[in-house]
Amino acid sequence: MRGLSSYEVASIYESQGKKNATLRATAKHIRVDSMKPFQAFPHLFCALCALCGSFPAIAGESSRPNVLIIIADQWRAKNFGYAGDPNVKTPHLDAFERESARFVNAVSNIPVCTPTRASILTGQRALTHGLFMNDAPLAPEAVTIAKVLGKAGYDTGYIGKWHVDGHGRSSFIPPERRQGFDYWKVLECTHDYNHSFYFADGPEKQQWEGYDAVAQTRDAQDYVRGHAKGNKPFVLFLAWGPPHDPYQTAPSKYRDMYDPAKLVLPPNVPASIAAQVRSRMAGYDAHCTALDQCFGDLRQTCKDAGIEENTVIAFTADHGDLLGSHGAYNKQQPFDESVCVPLLMHWPAKWGRTGRHLMGTINTEDLMPTILGLCDVRIPPSVQGVNLAAYLAGGKDPTDSASLILCPAPFGQWNRLLGGREYRAVRTNRYTYARDLKGPWLLFDNERDPYQMENLIGQAEHAALQVRLNETLDRKLKETDDKFLPSKSYVEKWGYVLDRTGTIPYAN
């Protein structure tokens, strides 16, 4: 058997390393002398080349992680088995949490849909991108996570609820307003989960089969399978509409799992509305369990496709749900049930599979820069959030353990007619402090009073704490250039036209 020539050796090396710039450069500079040991054993050399070619590239596009971001609508941080909820069944997310980094103090900057989603996409605060109310439009020229990752070589996809287009909740969204996402099966907003429509590439309206979260998850599974063997990494958003109300619309097999009479209510639910809350909570929990199964199915697909190890999976929600706590429903208010959201992040290739609880505060605008940091992609100067990638890798907490929460303009389900008000608040690892335009409003010690039932404002023994937290809030407002003005100032600045309740009108 003749030995291979240096040209043949280099050609084989070049072929096996064609997906890796480092190997290509090496192949072009192979010295003849360095090949002599292999010329006597050509088949061994070819086997080694093939073996090397079967491993992921060391550098370049193929070494970057895939990114899978799953967003539920109105799923509060407390409503998981892993978080100690006595009622809800979430076995798949409980197992995921045991292998993930859990941000215990994750919050929604403005706990309502459109502002949060715009901040996730742009890494900006709401008073910068301007979407501080539902149904406002995100500028087509916005710098978004999909545009940035797309330029860095990623395939981009979005499935499910969008709610940042602002041109009607059932309108076709043309490509120029899709914010950099190429694969597209989206509707602006619907909560009719069993009669749910979407648009893909064209203006023809299509319908998800059955309960939309299941169908959307199946589509995400197909996307993962189709991209698992590709040459490019991907970023895929899956945005479910549930467990947002209406509560009684999950598939019957999940609703049958919850008997309202047997549910344990939080102590901050007034007795006068307990029966109503039990009924709503049973439906809410049914949605959550249905979504938990969807999550488990999608994660298993990632495993089966062989990509889970090098995929960053982030599970979160846009905001929580008061669900009767404090005698209130829905969101926008600064109580934990409204503000605190789940955030689980998982990347076995880098962090292993040992679960961790991270106490550093993370806000909505921090997700984009953190994902870009994990992908080793430059963070645009337009981004205002904090990159927590090094913290996730075991580094120091870069936050100051205080997150700013705000309501620039009350509207919709918490408009002024329903008691809504402008406020600014800080939530630290232990305390919540809120101020409205009249002055101090709420102060809770979340460690001693986890259900926020004792307002400490004005109590002499907590006066020093109130002063300290007020100073923290002032500092956060200064850092973010938030002058805490009446809502009229922001509405006029962005040119929004409101109805009599202070809400941007929309068409279904």
Q: 3-state class of 463 per DSSP? A: helix
Q: pLDDT at position 62, please?
A: 55
| Tally of residues, the chain | 508
Catalytically active residues are: 113, 163
Angle between helices 32-39 and 42-53 (to 10 degrees): 110
Nearest CA-CA partner of 419 in 497, 494, 477, 334: 334
Regarding pTM above 0.85, the answer is yes
- Residue 164 tokens read as 């940042």
Q: Mind giving me the DSSP string for 452-490?
A: -----TT-GGGHHHHHHHHHHHHHHHHHTT-----HHHH
Q: pLDDT at position 35, please?
A: 38
Are 45 and 55 contacting, i.e. CB atoms less than 8 angstroms apart? no
Residues of the chain with pLDDT under 70: 1-62
* Non-local CB neighbours of 482 within 8 Å, separated by 6+ positions: 127, 404, 406, 424, 476
C-alpha 362/C-alpha 103 separation (Å) is: 7
In Å, what is the CA distance from 443 to each residue of 37, 120, 306, 347, 409? 75, 28, 48, 37, 21
Cβ neighbourhood burial of 8 (10 Å; 0-12, 13-18, 19+) = middle
Cβ neighbourhood burial of 33 (10 Å; 0-12, 13-18, 19+) = exposed
Look-up of token digits 């704490």: 465
Among 3.40.1390.30, 1.10.730.10, 3.40.50.2300, 3.30.1120.10, what is the CATH number of 423-485? Answer: 3.30.1120.10
Cβ neighbourhood burial of 220 (10 Å; 0-12, 13-18, 19+) = buried
Question: Domain 61-400 belongs to what architecture?
Answer: 3-Layer(aba) Sandwich (3.40)
Q: 3-state class of 385 per DSSP? A: coil
- Residue 239's DSSP bridge partners are 71, 160
Look-up of token digits 């089969």: 209
Q: 3-state class of 203 per DSSP? A: coil
pLDDT digits (tens, 9 = 90+) for 255-301: 999 999 999 999 999 999 999 999 999 999 999 999 999 999 999 99
Q: What angle do CA 277, 281, 287 make, to 5 degrees?
A: 155
Q: pLDDT at position 53, please?
A: 38
Domain ranges, ordered by start, for the chain: 6-53, 61-400, 423-485
- Residue 497 tokens read as 């036209």
